[in-house]
Amino acid sequence: MPILSHRRYQQARYEQPNIFSLIFIINGFKDLWYDHVTPEIAKYAFKSIRDLLFMGIELLTENTMIQVISLLEHNRTPLRDLAEEYLSNVNRKFVDFAYIGENTYQVDTNSVLFLWIFYCFLHGPKGLKVLQKGVRCLTIARALRVITFSITILPNPNPKCNFTGPINPFNLSPGGACNDLLYSGHVIVYTISALAVTILCSLYPFGLLRLLIRLFIWIQVVQRMIRAIVEFHHYSVDMFLGLCITLLIWHADILYYDLPCLPQPLYPHLKRLIFSHDPDGSIDQYVNQ
């Protein structure tokens, strides 16, 4: 009995410092947080993480539903697309126009997404504001897209497109899962990227440069829409609805009332975040110089 009691005492005495160590570490992080992070920056970070989390959940849900819908039995005979027939057979000039520059300056959809993010970051606080709005617009538009192709199954314009499984939400390129129709997801990315460039290039000093940039980016959108139709990735109605609905969502201001907003002026918050201890004001003097 004395041995067992002695062992229990040693164990209790050993566990007690661990609890105090945990409390000490938590208090250390708490003090570090209050020393460096202002409430405004914390609110901005929380809202930004919230929007990114919602977008991630939506993309996983969309990827899962594409595979689920593509596995269901349905008539796989393609529907007649009058716009595709016109572009492919009646007037080939539009198709030739759509492939101008394909192998020189045009990039895939994922690259467009990264270029959009990079372009917004280059333009400082205004670019970040446009990026935050784009993330919200992308999430809402693609959520509506999931609803549309989940309640009405259309046969893919490419009859060879066939998904056999298995369903994996984390498989970002499920081959043959192509029944995500009625509302193109690619044109959402193209439209949001073009809107971001259209807004941010207004900061440039030369009117001719602004006009040329806007013409170039919207011509890119039209070219990609035509190619998606004639290559049987989507019906023409998918591209048309994708463009129109994305534009409507972008201009629905009520959807963006709680967007993350960088505190202004930003410098005091960044100074506290990076240089919390500056008793002699040397950092301020350096910035002012």
pLDDT the model gives residue 215: 93
Calculate mean pLDDT across residues 225-233.
Answer: 89
pLDDT at 263: 64
Helical residues (DSSP H) of 231-277, grouped into ranges: 236-250, 267-274
Rounded alpha-carbon distances, angstroms, from residue 174 to 7, 146, 159, 171, 179: 58, 16, 17, 6, 12
- Provide the H-helix boundaries in 72-154: 82-85, 93-98, 109-121, 124-151
In this model, does residue 268 exceed pLDDT 70? no
Give 273-283 pLDDT, tens digit per residue.
555 555 555 55
For the stretch 143-167, pLDDT in tens is 999 999 888 888 888 877 777 777 7
Task: Please say if the pLDDT value at position 270 is more than 70.
Answer: no
Cβ neighbour number for residue 272 with a 10 Å cutoff: 16
Percent of the chain with pLDDT over 70: 75
Higher-scoring residue by pLDDT: 201, 25 = 201
Mean pLDDT on 245-261? 89
Say which residue, 107 or 12, is predicted with more confidence. Answer: 107
Q: Could you report the per-residue pLDDT of 65-85, keeping only the tens digit for each? A: 888 888 887 777 888 889 888
| pLDDT higher than threshold 80 for residue 138 | yes
C-alpha span between 172 and 166 (Å, rounded): 13
- Out of 77-81, 90-94, 202-206, 233-237, pick the least confident: 90-94
Q: What is the 3-state secondary structure (H, E, C) of 183-195?
A: CCCHHHHHHHHHH
> Does the pLDDT of residue 96 top 50, yes or no?
yes
Mean pLDDT, all residues of the chain: 79
Q: What is the pLDDT of residue 273?
A: 53
Nearest to 223 by CA among 85, 95, 104: 95
Over range 189-196, report the average pLDDT.
94
Q: Are 243 and 191 in contact (CB under 8 A)?
A: yes
Of 70-79, 101-110, 126-135, 216-225, the one with minimum mean pLDDT is 101-110
Which one is predicted more confidently, 218 or 177? 218
> According to the model, what pLDDT value does residue 55 have?
92
- Position 30 scores a pLDDT of 58
